Chain A
C-alpha cells in the first residue's frame, strides 16, 4: 500500500502517480483529500484506491477496473462514465452520482443527491439512504437500487434500465411506470447487497420506462424537399412550402423533422467580396508550394496541438447520422489531405481511428459512446454545447437508424427514436464547465487539446465564457450548419448566421483582450476555399467543412437524412443501403475536394499578395450587400457599384 498525501501533492501529480502505481499493481491510500476534485480520474488499472476523507467532484471519474473506497462524502459526479470497477462511498454523495456509468458498481452508504445515474448505460448504482429528485433521469440501461425513499420524479424520461426502491416511491417521473419484480431480480439485488455488506430490506418497488415517449407517434409522411427557389423571399407569402408544412403538421400534430442545413437564403460569406481583383488568381504555377498553410490548433495551453496541413478540418458528424462506411471514407480522405477528422456524437470506431490521421473525439450530454479508452487515443477532445443547425436541441436519431450495432457502441436500447439530451448532466453553468474541462485534462494527462463546440447565438457572451473556461479552441458553428435530423423550424429559425458569428466572436474576444487565449474554428455552410479564405480574413484560425465534404463524397442533397434510407448509402444504417457506398472511391473524391480547397486558399492568398495564410486580414474584404456591411462593419461595395468597378479597373 502506497500513501499519497494531498496536503503536499497536487491532484494532478497524485493522479499521475496513481496511473504509474496502477500499472505496477500497487494499491494506494489517499490522505488529506479535503474534498478536492478529480481524485483518481483517468485510472485504468485494477488497483484499490482508498480515500481517507471526502472527495470533491468527479471522484473516480473516467476510470475502468479500479476499485475505490471513500471513507466520507463525495461531491457530484462520483464515478462519472466509469466502465468496470467500483466505488464505495462511506458517507453521502452529491448530485449525479454514477452519471453515465457503463458497467461500474457504485455504492453510497448515506444519501445521494439529485439526478443519480443520469444517462447511465449499464452497471449498478446503489444508495443505502434516500435519493434526491429525478434519480435515473434519462437512464438508458443498468440498475439503480435505492434502499431509502425514491425522491421526486424517479425515473424521469428513462429509456431503459431498472430502478428498485425499498422505501417510499414519492412520485414517478415522466414516462416511468411501476412494474412487478420477479424472483430472480430479488435474488440478484440480495446478492449485490450482500457483496457490499448492506442489509436487504423486505420488499422493493420496480420502476421501468413506460415507453410512451420512446417513439414519435404518427410518422411524418416523407416528402422530397420543395426547391428553395419556390419559397425564397421573392415568392408569395402562402407559398407551396408553407402550405406543405401546414398540411404535413396537420397530419402529425408535431413539428417537422428533416436533415440538412438552412433552406432559405441568409446572410452568408457569399455576400462578402475581395477588395482586389482576383481574375489572375492561380496563374502562377505551383501556388500551393508558395503559400504557407500549415496550421496548429489546440496547443496554446501546452497540449499537443493538431497539426493541420492547411487551416481546414472536418466538421463533427456522427457515426449514426452517417454510415460507418461514410465515416471511414471521410477519415481516409482527411488523412490523405493531412487534416483532422471529428467523431461527432456517436463514439469512435477502430476503423475510423485507424484511418484518420488526427481525430477529435466529441463528448455530448448523453455521453453516447464516450469512454476513457477512446479519449486516450484521440488527438483532441471536444465538449459539445450546441450546434448551428439546431442549437438548444440534442441530436436526433430516428429509430430506423438506431440499429443494434449502433445502440451497442452508444450504450442505449436499440430501436428508440433517440433524442439526445440538450444539456450535459454535469454542465449547468460556466463554472461547472471549468471543472469538466479540468477532468478531461486530468484523464488525458494534460496532453490532449480540449475544445468546445458552440452553435452561434449570443456569441458575444458565450465566447467570453468559453475563453475563461480554459478551452484551447472553439468550433463555432453558424446557423447554416447542417444536421442529420432536426426540427425543420429550428434549423431555419434558431441561431445567427455564420457571418455575424465570427464577427461577434472576434470582437468580443478583443473586448476582453483575449483574442490570443483561444483559437477559433469557424463552420456552418462553408463550401470551398473561397469561403475559407473569407473566414480566415475575418479572424478565424481555421475552418471546418461538413456538408460540402459529404456532397463531394456522393451526397445528392435530397435532405432525407433523417429517414435512414439514404439512397447513396451515406446517411443510413441499413446494410442494404450502406452497401451502395464505396468508401475507397469516395475517400479519393473527398481528398480531391480538399486538395481543391487547398489550391483555392493558396491561389487567393497569393493573389492578395501574401505568402502565408496568417497574413489574411479584414482589409482584404468588402461587403457586397447592405446586410453584410452592417453585420461585418466592412465597407459596402455592391457588385456594379462605382467602388467595386474601380477594383476591377473599369472606372479609373
Chain B
C-alpha cells in the first residue's frame, strides 16, 4: 500500500499540525520518500551523508522512525524499489546508508524528550513495531501511555521473529533505549498478557483509549495430512525458539514450506543449526512470483539453500525419524483478480522429498481468546476499519499485523502512526478527522557534487553468509565504511531537489513523469493532471523586482544577417582610449587599493599579461595601465595613463589638474548628477566618464552591497545624444559586472570599457562573506594571477561570442538594436524594446 501514488499529481492535504513541506512550490517528495510508509526523508539524509553531516542525517532518519537502527538492518526498503536509479544501474542502497548512520550514532540519545501534558491516557496491547510506534507518537503528543507486553521484553516480532544473524539483539536494544529515553513517562508492563494478567475491561477503565497491536503471533497450518507430526513445526514458533536462544540439534535435511520472509529467515536459521546439512524451500509458484524480498532470497541462495519452485505440498508421511514431504508439481494457471497466476497442479506429477523436519511458513495469524470473547475478532485477526483504525468497541482501536494481516515492520510502524493520529483525534473529540496522510518533510540538502556520481556503481556491502561458526549466528554482512557510504550517497539522483532549470523544475518534471505513467483511459487522473497543469505560475517579474542586466537578451543572426562562427572566426575586442591606454581587452579591474600586497602583485601580473588595465588610488606596478582615482587635493601620478575625479558641484570652481596629455576622467555615481556632469565634462575637455554604478569607484564592499544603477548608462547616453555629442566621451562602466555577457550588454548600450571588481576578487580566490571579500591562504600568488587571467580571458571569450552570435566581427560594433529586454521595467530604463507585438519594423523601435 502506498500512501499516495508514485504518479503523484495530487497530494492529499496534510492534517493540521504535521511537519509537512508539500505546500512549498519548490518541493515535491521524491519517489523513495513517498514509497516509505512513514515518509522518511531519505534524500536529505543521503545528502547529509555525502556532506559528512552525520548528526543531521541521524535527525532526519530518526524524526519519524523510532526503530531506525532495526530498519537499517532489516527494513524491506520499499524506498529502494521506488528509486529511479533502480531501472538503470540499481537502486541507491538507502537501507545500507541508514545502517551506516545508525551504526555510527544509533546509541546517541536525542535531546528532545516528551513530557506528559494531557490528562488522558492510552493503553497499548503489544509492543511490536505498531504498538511502540503508536506509543512513541502518543507520548510525543503528550498523553500518558502504558504498554502491555505478554513476553519478558519489548519489541514483538522485531525480537522474536528475526534471527540474530540479520538483526543482532544489541541493535534492538539501541532503538528501545532511545525510545524509552525520549518517552521517559511511558509505562511498560512486561509479562502481562491480555486475558491473563489483565483484561480488556480493566484496560478500558484504566485508559481513555485502548490500542490492540497484538501482532500475528501464530503460524497458519498447511492443511495437509500428517502435519501434526512432532517434527513438523510452524515457522514463527521455530523462529521464536531460536530467538529465545535455543540451538536445537537438527536433522540433516530440513524442508521449509513457503516463500515469504518468514520462510527465508527460517530456512537460513535452520541451516546454521548443528546437524543441518541441507535445507530445501518448497514454493508453489515460480521464482518470479516468490514474495520474499529479493535480497533475502539472494542471500539464502548464496548461503546454499535449495529451492523447489512450482511445488505444492500434499501431505507428510513418516517412518521412524525420517519424514517425507509429499508433493506435486504445479504450473501457472490463468491470472486471478490481482493479476497473479494461481498455480494449477500438473497431472501425475506426485513425488516426495525425504527429510528430517518440516517447517511450515505459509502465513501467520493473530489470536486472542479474550478478544474473541469480547466479539472483536474475525477468524484470525482483530476486526478493524483501516479508515479510522477503530474496532467495534468505540474505545478500542487496532493496528498492525494482528489487525490487518501479515506485513512488514515499516508498514506496522505506519499503522502505529495512523492509530495514534485517530486515537488523538478521538480524544480531542473530533468526530470526522481529516484523513490521515503520511507527512513529507524535506531538509533541503544540496545535491552531492561528486564528480563521478553518474558513473559510480552500486556498493554491495561485504557479505559473510554463514560465517565461521554458523550456530553462533554471526552477522551476515558488514556496514559500509565511510568511503563506501559516501560513494553510495553520491549515486542519489536527488529527485527531491531542484535543478537549475526553471522550465523543468522538480514540479514540472514530476508532472511530466505522471503524464508518461498514466494510462490513456484513466480519465480521472487526466482531469486532475489537467487542472493542476492549468494553475498559473507566479509572475516571475513582480513589480518590486528591480531592473536587471539579466533581462537583456541578444538577437542572434540567422537569415537576415550572417552569423560569425563563434568557435573559429575572429572578433576584435581591443579598444584604444588614447596613446597611453591601448587595451587588448576592454576591461579594467578595480578594488585592489586595500587588498593584501600579494593580491596586488598577482593582479598586476595578470592585468599586464592580458592587456587590460586597473583603476585605483594607489599606483600599481609601473608596467600596468592605470587610471588613477584622484582623492581631493591629490595630483596626477606620472605613472598613470589618466586620472579620475569624482564629480561634484564645486568641481567647476577648482583649478584643473595639470597633466601632460593624460586621459581626464570624471566619475558619476548618481543619475541626478548626469546632466551637470556631462555638461562639465564636455566643456572642460574630459576624455571619459566613469559610470560608478555601485559607488566608491568599484570598491568591493560597495559593489557587494549596492544594487547596480544600470540606468546611469542609458541616461548618460541619452544626455550625450541630446547634446549631439555621442562620440565625445568614452564611457567606462563600473559596478555589478559579473561576466562577459554583462560586458557585451553594457558595450552594446554604449560603454566602451567595463570594470570588474568583485568578479576579479572571486576569480582570485576571494570568498564573499557578510558583505566583504574574505581571503584564504589556499593558493599561491601565481595561482591567483592565473585565476584573474582566466576570468578575463573567459569573459573576453563570452563577450566576443555574444558579438559573433549577433553577426558582429567587432565587440564594439554591438549596439542597442542587438538587444531585447524581457521585462518592462528594464525596457523602460534602457529603452531596449520588449520583443513581440510591440516591436515593429526591423529596427525594433517600440
Contacts of B806 in A (CB 8 A): 392, 494
Does B37 touch A at the CB level, under 8 Å? no
CB atoms of B502 and A265 under 8 A apart:
yes
Cβ contact of A253, chosen from B89, B495, B516, B794, cutoff 8 A: B794
User: Do B768 and A238 have beta carbons less than 8 Å apart?
Assistant: yes
Q: Mark B316-360, 1 if CB is under 8 A from A, else 0.
A: 000000000000000000000000000000000000000000000
Residues of B within 8 A of A585 (CB): 87
B837 lies within 8 A of A632 (CB): yes
A627 to B825, CA, bound (A): 9
A82 proximal to B (CB < 8 A): no
Residues of A within 8 A of B565 (CB): 394, 421-423
With a cutoff of 8 Å between Cβ atoms, the chain A residues found around residue B554 in the complex are 493-495
Give chain B residues whose Cβ lies under 8 Å from the Cβ of A638.
539
Q: Once bound together, how far apart are the Cα atoms of A229 and B807, in whole Å?
A: 33
Contact A282 B526 (CB under 8 A): yes
Check if B545 is an interface residue, CB within 8 A of chain A.
Answer: yes
Which residues on the A side are within 8 Å of B791 (C-beta)? 246, 249-250, 253
Number of residues on chain A facing chain B (CB within 8 A):
140
B734-748 CB contacts (< 8 Å) to partner A: 736, 738-741
- Cα A51 to Cα B501 in complex, Å, equals 56
Is B558 part of the contact surface with A, judged by Cβ < 8 Å? yes
A394 to B795, CA, bound (A): 20
The residues of A that contact B518 with a CB separation of less than 8 Å are 592, 596
Which of B70-78, B306-314, B758-766 sits within the interface?
A: B758-766
Q: Does B623 lie at the interface of the complex (its beta carbon under 8 Å from any beta carbon of A)? A: no
Q: Does B559 contact A (CB under 8 A)?
A: yes
- Complex contact A250–B839 (CB within 8 A): no
User: Do B798 and A255 touch across chains, with their CB atoms under 8 A apart?
Assistant: yes
Of B512, B527, B768, B794, most A-chain CB atoms within 10 Å: B512
Identify the closest chain A residue to B447 (Cβ). Answer: A224
The CA-CA distance from A595 to B509 in the complex, in Å, is: 17
Q: Is B132 an interface residue, CB under 8 A from the partner?
A: no
Closest Cβ neighbor of B842 among chain A residues: A461
Give the shortest distance, in Å, between A481 (CB) and chain B (any CB): 10
Query: Is A652's beta carbon under 8 Å from chain B?
Result: no
Given the known interface contacts A238-B758, A458-B560, A503-B836, the answer about A487 and B87 at a Cβ–Cβ threshold of 8 Å is no
Known: A462-B558, A462-B560, A565-B454. A557 touches B539 (CB 8 A): no
| Bound-state Cα–Cα, A479 to B502, Å | 13
Q: Check if A261 sits within 8 Å of B567, measured CB to CB.
A: no
Collect the chain B residues with CB atoms within 8 Å of residue A548's CB.
Answer: 504, 512
Is A373 close to B, CB under 8 A? no
A-side contacts of B537, CB under 8 Å = 268, 270-271
Is A232 engaged at the interface, CB distance under 8 Å to the other chain? yes
Judge if A386 is at the interface, Cβ distance under 8 Å. Answer: yes
Instruction: Determine if A429 is an interface residue (Cβ-Cβ < 8 Å).
Output: yes
Interface residues of A in 514-544 (CB under 8 A from B): 525, 527-530
Interface 1/0 per residue, B543-563 and A, CB below 8 Å: 001001010111111111111
Digitize A244-282: 1 where CB-to-B-CB distance is under 8 Å, 0 elsewhere. 011101111111000011111111101101100011011
Partner pick for B545 among A234, A262, A547, CB 8 A cutoff? A234
Q: Does B822 contact A (CB under 8 A)?
A: yes
- Contact residues in B for A249 (Cβ distance below 8 Å): 739, 763, 790-791, 794-795
Instruction: Assess whether B501 is in contact with A503, with CB atoms less than 8 Å apart.
Output: no
User: With a CB–CB cut-off of 8 A, which chain A residues contact B807?
Assistant: 392
B652 → A minimal CB distance (Å): 34
Instruction: Report the bound CA distance from A630 to B821 in whole Å.
Output: 11
Q: Which residue in A392, A568, A597, A632 is a CB contact (below 8 Å) of B563?
A: A392
Q: Mark A448-477, 1 if CB is under 8 A from B, else 0.
A: 000000110110111001100100000000
List, in ascending order, chain B residues with CB within 8 A of A243's CB: 762, 768
Cβ of B17 under 8 Å from chain A = no
Task: Evaluate contact between A267 and B822: CB separation under 8 angstroms.
Answer: yes
| Interchain CB contact under 8 A, A465 and B559 | yes
Q: Which of A69-77, A355-363, A574-582 contacts B (4 or more CB under 8 A)?
A: A574-582
Of A228, A590, A600, A633, which contacts B498 at CB under 8 A? Answer: A228
| A210 CB to nearest B CB, Å | 14
How far, in Å, is B846 (CB) from chain A's closest CB? 9
- The distance in angstroms between the C-alpha atoms of A558 and B806, with both chains bound, is 29
Contact: A504 with B512, CB < 8 Å? no
Q: Give residues of chain A (546-570) contacting chain B, Cβ–Cβ below 8 Å.
A: 547-548, 551-554, 556-560, 563, 565-569
What is the CA–CA distance of A226 and B444 in the complex, to the nearest angstrom?
Answer: 12
CB nearest neighbor in B for A503: B836
Is B420 in contact with chain A by the CB < 8 A criterion? Answer: no
Whether A493 pairs with B526 at a CB distance below 8 angstroms is no
Contact for B559 among A274, A282, A461, A525, CB less than 8 A: A461
Q: Is A423 in contact with B562, judged by CB distance below 8 angstroms?
A: yes
Within 8 Å by CB of B739, from A392, A489, A603, lies A489
Expressed in whole angstroms, the Cα–Cα distance for A224 and B529 within the complex equals 29
Q: Are B451 and A222 interface neighbours, CB within 8 A? A: yes
Say yes or no: B449 contacts A223, CB within 8 Å: yes
A386→B566 CA distance, assembly (Å): 13
On whether A246 and B763 interact (CB within 8 A), knowing A221-B451, A233-B540, the answer reads yes
B787 touches A457 (CB 8 A): no
Any B CB within 8 A of the CB of A85: no
Q: Which residues of A contact B801 (CB under 8 A)?
A: 255, 393, 487, 489-490
Q: Is B367 part of the binding interface, using a Cβ–Cβ cutoff of 8 Å? A: no
Proximity string of chain B (355-397) to chain A, C-beta cutoff 8 Å, 1 when within and 0 when not? 0000000000000000000000000000000000000000000
Q: Check B454–A566 contact: CB distance below 8 A.
A: yes
For A253, what are the chain B residues with a Cβ–Cβ distance below 8 Å? 789-791, 793-794, 797
Asked if B516 and A592 sit within 8 Å, CB to CB, the answer is yes
Known: A279-B531, A493-B802. A639 touches B536 (CB 8 A): yes
On whether the beta carbons of A228 and B499 are closer than 8 Å, the reply is yes
Indicate whether B223 reaches chain A with its CB closer than 8 angstroms. no
Nearest CB of A to B694, in Å? 9
| Chain B CB within 10 Å, residue with most, of A237, A507, A566 | A237
Answer whether residue A391 sits at the interface, using C-beta atoms and an 8 A cutoff: yes
| Given A392-B557, A507-B837, A630-B836, residue A557 in contact with residue B499 (CB < 8 A) | yes
Report if A282-B527 is in contact (Cβ < 8 Å); known contacts: A221-B451, A241-B500, A266-B822.
Answer: yes
In Å, the complex CA distance between A433 and B794 comes to 35
Q: Is A428 an interface residue (CB 8 A)?
A: yes
With CB as the reference atom, state the residue of chain B lying closest to A452. Answer: B559
Instruction: For A559, give its contact among B499, B797, B844 (CB under 8 Å).
Output: B499
Q: A268-B503, A504-B836 are in contact. Are A567 and B493 (CB under 8 A)?
A: yes
Residue from A233, A500, A558, A581 in contact with B550 in the complex, judged by beta carbons closer than 8 Å: A233
Among A278, A566, A593, max chain B CB count under 10 A is at: A593
The answer to whether B555 and A496 touch across the interface, beta carbons within 8 angstroms, is yes
Contact A283 B527 (CB under 8 A): yes
Asked whether A224 and B536 contact (CB < 8 A) given A246-B762, A490-B805, the answer is: no
Is A631's beta carbon under 8 Å from chain B? yes
Residues from chain B with Cβ under 8 Å of A229 in the complex: 26, 498, 505
**B26 touching A589, Cβ below 8 Å:** no
Q: Does A227 contact B (CB under 8 A)?
A: yes
Please tell me which one of the listed residues B509, B519, B550, B567 contacts residue A419 in the complex, with CB atoms under 8 A apart.
B567
14 other contacts beyond A386-B556, A393-B567, A548-B504, with CB at 8 A cut-off? A234-B545, A238-B704, A260-B501, A271-B536, A278-B530, A279-B531, A422-B564, A429-B559, A496-B820, A527-B508, A556-B495, A557-B499, A626-B824, A630-B838
Residues in chain A within 8 A of chain B (CB atoms): 138, 156-157, 174, 213, 221-229, 231-234, 237-238, 241-243, 245-247, 249-255, 260-268, 270-271, 273-274, 278-279, 281-283, 285, 385-386, 391-394, 419, 421-423, 428-430, 433, 454-455, 457-458, 460-462, 465-466, 469, 479-480, 487, 489-490, 493-497, 499-501, 503-504, 507, 525, 527-530, 547-548, 551-554, 556-560, 563, 565-569, 577, 580-582, 585, 589-590, 592-593, 595-597, 599-600, 603-604, 624-627, 630-633, 638-639
15 inter-chain pairs at a CB distance below 8 angstroms, sorted by A residue, are A156-B568, A250-B763, A260-B500, A274-B534, A283-B527, A392-B805, A421-B568, A454-B558, A458-B561, A551-B509, A558-B454, A559-B501, A565-B455, A627-B834, A630-B824
